[in-house]
Amino acid sequence: MSDEQARWREERRAAAAAHAEALERRRRAESEQARRLIADFLDRAREAGLAPVPLRARSADGARYRTPLQGWYLRLDESIAIDTEGRFYLMRTPRSLVGRLRGVTPEPSDPPLVLGAGGKDGESIDIADALARALAG
């Protein structure tokens, strides 16, 4: 490999790393903004007396699984929720006999500003709109 090829590869590698770093910074900033929106929702829900509901996870075949979580669903299909502490959850779980008997405990994840981004047309919604809809009951 020539020096020119090696230099080109190193430049491409550095550019890709810089791009990935910029995307990660953007994702973190968006998650922080979404967390602020969720915190505002929690305050408004408490003021309005909006009671949390028991949250259930679903498997791909539609089976429902108990969880120890209480909160509010952000999507009509109950696939995304927040708990009373403001943690964000994707309410999907693998099919499991043990889970059907004992329940499951979903892991929280970083909230995005757009729920379902990159999905089919009509399946994405801004988190602010989803929170407003949940607040309206």
Ordered mean pLDDT values, 10 residues apiece, the chain (137 residues) = 85 89 92 96 95 96 95 94 97 92 95 80 84 91
Closest alpha carbon to 116 in 86, 76, 69: 76
Question: pTM for this structure?
Answer: 0.83
**Domain count across the chain:** 1
Which residues are CB-contacts of 130 (< 8 A; sequence separation ≥ 6)? 74, 75, 80, 115
Residue 111 is predicted with a pLDDT of 96
Residue 37: both structure tokens together? 């929106």
| pLDDT tens-place string over residues 105-131 | 999 999 999 998 766 656 788 999 999
Residue 2 is predicted with a pLDDT of 83
Parent domain of 79: 3-136
Closest alpha carbon to 45 in 80, 86, 76, 106: 86
Residue 123 is predicted with a pLDDT of 75
